[in-house]
Amino acid sequence: MTVFFEDIQLGDSAQYAKTITEADILLFAAVSGDNNSVHLNQEYAETTPFKGRIAHGMLTASLISTVLGTRLPGEGAIYLSQSTRFKAPVRIGQTVTARVTVKELDAARKRVTFQTECRVGEQVVLEGESLVIAPSRPQ
């Protein structure tokens, strides 16, 4: 799916939800090389302020990329930057909903600034901002 720059309006939004599994965490650790024990070792993680294993923050943040690359703007979007503030941990079995909302449009450069957030239920676990080049409608 592609939403062309010319069709994007302030306030437009899209989302994606995913339940985080044990496999997601193990695969993300393998792909990223982030083998921090807080993600992989329950015994160790119980000694941390989290009192148990948590998902990688960047695994949660990657769900923003899913929305931008598959829903809004979708196919052909070029991700330029992301600011991210992690607000709360995500645990195995929790469903994360990533949402992007159009905040600003730069018509001269075909750039879209999005407000981004991830929630587990009503709790914000991540918030930030993304900058994307959106594809233009073919001439």
- 3-class secondary structure per residue, 59-119: HHHHHHHHHHHHCCCECCCEEEEEEEEECCCCCCCCEEEEEEEEEEEECCCCEEEEEEEEE
pLDDT digits (tens, 9 = 90+) for 14-47: 999 999 999 999 999 999 999 999 999 999 999 9
Extents of the domains making up the chain: 5-133
Q: In this predicted structure, what is the pLDDT of residue 1?
A: 83
Pick the CATH number of 5-133 from 3.90.380.10, 1.10.1040.50, 3.10.129.10, 3.20.20.20: 3.10.129.10
The reported pTM is 0.93
- Helix 22-32 vs helix 57-70: crossing angle, to nearest 10: 90
Q: Categorize the per-residue pLDDT at 138 as very low, low, confident or very high, splitting at 50, 70 and 90.
A: confident
pLDDT digits (tens, 9 = 90+) for 86-115: 999 999 999 999 999 999 999 999 999 999
Residues shown for the chain: 139
CB of 110 closer than 8 Å to CB of 4: no
Q: What is the SS3 assignment for 34?
A: coil
